[in-house]
Amino acid sequence: MKTLIAFWNILKKDINNYYLKPPNISWGIILPLSWALMQLIRSSGNIEIIELLPGLMAMSILFGTTSMLAVTITFERRGHSFDRLLLAPIGLGTLVFAKLSGAIMFGMVNAFVPVVFAAFLTDLGGINWPIIIITVFLIALTSALIGLFIAVSAKEVFEAQTFSNFFRFPMLFLCGLFIPIAELPGVVKPLSFALPLTYGTDILNGMITGSSIFSTVSNILIMIAFAAALFYLCLRNISKKWIL
């Protein structure tokens, strides 16, 4: 019971202090929508909204979760409020999961903002929404873990943003969000398959546009494996750099 109370209070604090702040809105909502508008204008009407939706959803999650977690944890570490959480009588896994939960929730909400806009412009019937929701959760989970991994290495907020962009912007071009992986140069394709977002975007493409590289089950299993590996690395780095 004490663990659940601690979990809820950490999550509630993050919601009250960090959700819907201007930086998170700009990175998680405004930037993806602006990117989609740019794609539509550049294509001169040769591209459909439905074709942009998978990449737009994945981009909204990626930028929302990494901005939320990398910046907020770095900010709390600078103000030493995170140190008090580390000293609290709760498990490290509980603390990390509580911090991740807020970013995951924020990322999942971000994912469906473009869906709401797209529903007014095109027909979204026939989409397998249960698989979409599972995929959105897995993308949010892996993206949040990437944000946490960045936060472990950053000491200042501007460093967290810089490190985040170092990972995020290459993913726009390597993970099939707007450029199909088949059209990428052969030398960078192996790098694409080393990124968890590639497999989440592949599921979204399969469910929304009917075009995918791998099977849905394979993509889900690969993303779960990525999440487990990232969670282990984050816990190990936290124990090494923040506690010992």
Model confidence pLDDT, tens digit, residues 173-196: 888 887 888 888 888 888 889 899
User: With bands split at pLDDT 50, 70 and 90, how would you rate the model's confidence at 64?
Assistant: confident
User: With bands split at pLDDT 50, 70 and 90, how would you rate the model's confidence at 8?
Assistant: confident
11 phi, psi to nearest 5 deg: -65, -45
Residues 6+ apart with CB under 8 A from 36: 52, 56, 114
Residue 182 contacts residue 202 (beta carbons within 8 Å): no
Provide the whole-model pTM.
Answer: 0.85
Structure tokens at 225: 């494996």
